[in-house]
Structures are given as structure tokens and as C-alpha cells.
Amino acid sequence: MVRIGIVGCGGRMGRELVRQVLETEGVTLAGGTEKPGGALVGEDVAALAGVPPSGILVTEDPTVLFDAADAVIDFTTPAATLLHATMAAHTGTTLVVGTTGLDDAALSQLGKMARQTRIVQAPNMSVGVNLLFALTRQVAATLGIEYDIEIVEHHHRHKVDAPSGTALGLGRAAAAGRGVDLDAVADRARDGHTGPREDGHIGFAVLRGGDVVGDHTVVFAGPGERIELTHKASDRVIYARGAVRAAQWAADKPNGLYSMADVLGLG
């Protein structure tokens, strides 16, 4: 039985994670945290998620959660995630990171912390999206540079980062398939008289509006044909399901930094 804790358990994703833990065989809820002084501190973790009370109360001290849990799932903010990674390294607790907006420096820091524990990090925890990552890399490796690559993503109006972490992950997958560095070929914004498209570049288009959970399309536009790979999320449960699966998978693994591709056996 893997004891799983949820940091940020009162948010939309946190509540979904709590429900998923309570519904999954082989795991149990270790607890949940919210910001110090927040209105939800002291509330029943399960009741916040809309299920019968568990008797486990929301705490504002993550050190208590890391001491009590075998694994902690984190869909918070980059700064909070790095703090939690330090705690995970100190306690040897598995950390599953679904936080978006992590830059290269933050990812490097996670790698250092993973020398002392198991960290699973992915820009998207969905099984379907991670299959899309693998397919994108394969198609990019197969097609020549005459196929232009564009990544289009659409999220709800409240999302704060752009392009999404998933879109950037798809860009990295496409760049890896071509054997190039994404930063060297990414076109993340276009405005005004930009001139013709540069060969080999990977473009990003960002849409924000409504309550869209997350739509992503990778377009390979070549002479005379166009190939499109699309994933559409209609329920956040897919992210929670993947995160819980990652926590279970990592339970008996050696220390190290893993991805959902490792969890799913995709590479």
C-alpha cells in the first residue's frame, strides 16, 4: 500500500488528485497541504474533494506530509516544487511533479535532488499525451526538413503560462526527433511583418479562452500534404490518473529523475 500525499490539495487539480487516490486500489491517502494561513487549513482533505470525510485534515506544514507519505504529488508552482524537491531528498520520499512552467535551471535542480530520492517529472501526466510525445518524436525523425512543424495549443482562460508546458514538451520531442536544440529553432511568437518562415523552425501558436481543459495539435506541413497529431483533454482526471500511476510505479525504483515515458515504458 503506497501512502500518497497531495500538496496544494485544495486547488482544482489537488481535489482531483485526492479523489483519484481514494478511488485507486493499492494506494492510500497520507494527507494534504495548503498555503500557511489559508482558509482551507484544518478542513477534511477528502471532504474538500467532494467525497465522504476521511478524518485527515489539511495541514499547512509540508514537512509533516513528507514524513508521513511514501510519495507526494505536486501540481503547484515552480518555486514551491523546488522547495518540495528539497524536502523529498531529505526524507527519501518519492516526488511526482506535474507542475508546469519549470525552466532549465529548475529541471537541473530536480535532477540534483533526484540523486537522493525518486522524482518523476513530466510536463503532462496524461497517458495519451505521453504517447503523443513519443509519436511526435518518431514522426519528426522520419520526415525531412521540408515538413514545417507547428504546435497549436488551447487552454482555459485562467492558465497563466504560455506556451503550455505540454506544448513545449511536444516541441522538445520534435526537436529531439530532428537532432536539434529546441531553443535554437523555436518561434514562440509572431507579430507584424515577420517575413517568410525559416526552414527547420518549430512554431508555437497559443489560444486562451473558455473552460478548455487542454487541446494540443502537432502539425507537420509538407509539400502537397499535412499530417496532424492531436490530443484533446476533456477531464482533468486523466492527469490525476497518470500521476497516481507514476507514484505507484516509482515505489520500488532506484533514486533518479524519471519521466512518464519511463513509467509507461515508451523509452
Q: What is the pLDDT of residue 120?
A: 98
Compute the residue count for the chain.
Answer: 267
Give yes or no for residue 267 having a pLDDT over 80. Answer: no
Give yes or no for residue 134 having a pLDDT over 90. Answer: yes
The answer to whether 149 touches 220, Cβ cutoff 8 Å, is yes
User: What cell does 220 get?
Assistant: 507537420
Q: Is 21 exposed, middle or buried (0-12, 13-18, 19+ CB in 10 A)?
A: buried
Q: What is the pLDDT of residue 15?
A: 96
The stretch 74-98 carries a mean pLDDT of 97
**Whether residue 159 lies in the annotated active site:** yes
Considering the segment(s) 2-121+236-264 as one domain, its CATH architecture is: 3-Layer(aba) Sandwich (3.40)
Angle at 46 between CA 40 and CA 47, to 5 degrees: 65
102 Cβ contact list (under 8 Å, min separation 6):
78, 81, 110, 121, 165
Question: Which helix (H) or strand (E) segment is 85 a member of?
Answer: helix 78-91
**CA 265 to centroid of chain Cα atoms:** 17
**Whether residue 216 lies in the annotated active site:** no
What are residue 7's DSSP bridge partners? Answer: 33, 74
Phi/psi for 69 (5° steps) reads -105, 150
Fold of 127-233: Dihydrodipicolinate Reductase; domain 2 (3.30.360)
Half-sphere exposure of residue 214: CA atoms within 13 angstroms, side-chain side:
21
Give yes or no for residue 74 having a pLDDT over 90. Answer: yes
Q: How far apart are CA 5 and CA 252, in angstroms?
A: 17
Which percentage of the chain shows pLDDT scores above 70? 100
Give yes or no for residue 144 having a pLDDT over 80. Answer: yes
Q: In whole numbers, what is the pLDDT of the chain averaged over residues? A: 95
The stretch 208-228 carries a mean pLDDT of 97
The stretch 41-62 carries a mean pLDDT of 95
Domain ranges in the chain? 2-121+236-264, 127-233
User: What cell does 92 get?
Assistant: 527519501
The stretch 134-153 carries a mean pLDDT of 97
For residue 229, the tally of other CB atoms under 10 A from its CB is 16
User: b or e along 128-137 (b: 16 or more beta carbons within 10 Å of the residue's beta carbon)?
Assistant: ebbbbbbbbb
Cell 501512502 identifies what position?
Answer: 3
Give yes or no for residue 169 having a pLDDT over 80. Answer: yes
Record the pTM: 0.85
Categorize the per-residue pLDDT at 100 as very low, low, confident or very high, splitting at 50, 70 and 90.
confident
The stretch 146-163 carries a mean pLDDT of 95
Q: What is the pLDDT of residue 123?
A: 84
Q: What is the pLDDT of residue 101?
A: 84
Positive or negative, the CA dihedral 75, 20, 239, 105 is positive
Q: What is the pLDDT of residue 82?
A: 97
Catalytic residue among 35, 112, 154, 155: 155
